Amino acid sequence: MFNTVALVGATGAVGRIMRQLLEERPLPAKTFRFLASKRSAGGTITFRGQDHQVEELTKDCFAGTDLVIATTPDEIARDYLPSAVEAGATVIDESGYWRMKEGVALVIPEVNPQDAINAKGIIASPNCSTTQMVVALKPLHDAAKVKRVVVSTYQAVSGIGLSGTKELEEGTHMHLHGQPYNYTAFKHPIAFNCIPQIGGEKEAGYTSEEMKMVYETRKILGDESILVCPTCVRIPVANCHSETIAVETERPISPEEARGLFESFPGIKVVDDIGSSMYPMPLNSTGSDLVYVGRIRKDLSHPNGLSFWCVSDNLRKGAATNAIQIAELLAKHRFGK
């Protein structure tokens, strides 16, 4: 088993869910440590029946730690995680900073587990909107090679963190009462609105969130020829991202074949009966670790096209769950359990 597992960013929105997952799921480890910024250090976290003091994250705090699971802003990941690697730890990073770096593994356990097993140094967990899409694309790619993807996202405010959830609730309340509300986590009011920008401008008029979907998809699937056209949109939903995905494959995949491929892939659940108004939705996907797929149908505009709808809990499979699953994968490989 692991000797010491450190959870970095233990007090944030994703860190909370990671702790919850580590309570529920038996990652084998002797000791757990909880690290956070100076602001949150000193507090107490109760975990597996014991109180733990939250330690301050520093560059020399990693001695004796063999696994680090980190969920922090990009700059913190950039500044602190190399010290963890130097101290000999395996590092699983949820931030965006390391994902596309040469030599860093970018892993979804259902999709490319071997990349985690072969990794030296940091193993990155992908962006939330990418993860659920790539889980859904993988069985199609294996069966018929994905050539092109047009994806539009319907993203929840929890992706911003606790402030996003708080401001959606407060802003909506004030809107219903005809009162103004001063948003700081969003560039525009989010209550009863949608904002077609997530992240800053990156290149060619695309945002950073959109370009993550382009580049991370190729790296995880190990295929630089895959073309992706994304539009990322924030909508007034508390939790769970939804996506419309139109995919072109080298040979046509019928909706029936696609349904079978999705159903036999680990981590995917098909909910698909439009006649009975059954399909995945944010409200009924929250709290689950699965990627839900529905509205599976032939793309009417392309002979090799398939169109579907995909929903997943962005804080869980899109972040915390995927990182913990990577840790579990490593434990199984190293310790056989």
For the annotated binding site for phosphate, the residues are 99
Closest CA to 97 of 68, 132, 73: 73
- Find where tokens 């899409």 sit: 133
Confirm whether 177 is a catalytic residue: no
Stretch that binds a copy of itself, among 40-48, 57-65, 82-90, 201-209 (CB under 8 A): 201-209
CA 226 from chain centre, in angstroms, equals 20
In whole angstroms, give the CA distance from residue 119 to residue 129: 23
Exactly one of 12, 15, 164, 294 binds a copy of itself (CB under 8 A); that residue is 294
In whole angstroms, give the CA distance from residue 269 to residue 262: 7
For strands 55-56 and 50-53, give the pairing.
unpaired
DSSP 8-state code for residue 159: G
How many residues bind to a copy of itself according to rule CB under 8 A? Answer: 58
Cβ atoms of 137 and 247 within 8 Å: the answer is: yes
Exactly one of 193, 223, 263, 337 binds a copy of itself (CB under 8 A); that residue is 193
Least CB distance to a copy of itself at residue 258 (A) = 11
Least CB distance to a copy of itself at residue 197 (A) = 6
Stretch that binds a copy of itself, among 42-50, 148-156, 216-224, 326-334 (CB under 8 A): 148-156
| Per CB under 8 A, 154 contacts a copy of itself | yes
Exactly one of 4, 197, 288, 304 binds a copy of itself (CB under 8 A); that residue is 197
For strands 105-106 and 122-124, give the pairing.
parallel
The catalytically annotated residue of 52, 232, 240, 241 is 241
Least CB distance to a copy of itself at residue 200 (A) = 8
Amino acid making up residue 79: D
Residues 115/333/35/129 CA torsion (nearest 10 deg): 40
| Per CB under 8 A, 252 contacts a copy of itself | no
Cβ atoms of 310 and 296 within 8 Å: the answer is: no
Confirm whether 241 is a catalytic residue: yes
Reduce the DSSP state of residue 220 to 3 states and report it. helix
Active site residues: 128, 241
* Footprint on this chain of a copy of itself (rule: CB under 8 A): 148-150, 152, 154, 168-169, 172-173, 176, 187-189, 192-197, 201, 204-207, 214, 227-229, 231, 233, 235-238, 242, 244, 246, 255, 274-275, 277, 279-283, 294-302, 305, 307, 309
